[in-house]
């Protein structure tokens, strides 16, 4: 198996998850690995199973991109979960 290493970090838009994402991006950059920012939603926050609006996802993804763009040389992608 020839897998490319990466670091994954969960992100929900909170200040603490922003700090964690920034730290993980810095470590990934130092290790010359990509980072995958995974947007996570607590199912208890939306118990009826109604999908979050696309505008919410776009806002959180833009926030994650803003954090990741502050780390020079970081290769990243954003995933939803």
Q: Using one digit for the tens of pLDDT, what is the confidence trace for 27-74?
A: 999 999 999 999 987 666 665 666 777 888 899 999 999 999 998 887
74: its two tokens: 């970081």
The reported pLDDT for the residue numbered 6 is 92
Residue that wins the pLDDT comparison between 15 and 47: 15
**How far is 55 from 30, CA to CA, in rounded Å?**
33
Lateral strand order in the sheet of 76-80? 6-11, 34-39, 76-80
Average pLDDT over residues 13-39: 93
The reported pLDDT for the residue numbered 1 is 46
The reported pLDDT for the residue numbered 26 is 93
């Amino acid at each position: 198996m020839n897998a490319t290493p990466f670091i994954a970090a969960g992100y929900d838009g909170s200040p603490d998850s922003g700090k964690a994402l920034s730290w993980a991006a810095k470590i990934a950059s130092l290790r010359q690995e990509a980072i995958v920012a995974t947007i996570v939603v607590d199912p208890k926050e939306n118990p009826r199973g109604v999908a979050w609006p696309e505008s919410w996802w776009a806002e959180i993804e833009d926030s994650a991109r803003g954090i990741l763009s502050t780390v020079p040389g970081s290769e990243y992608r954003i995933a939803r979960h």
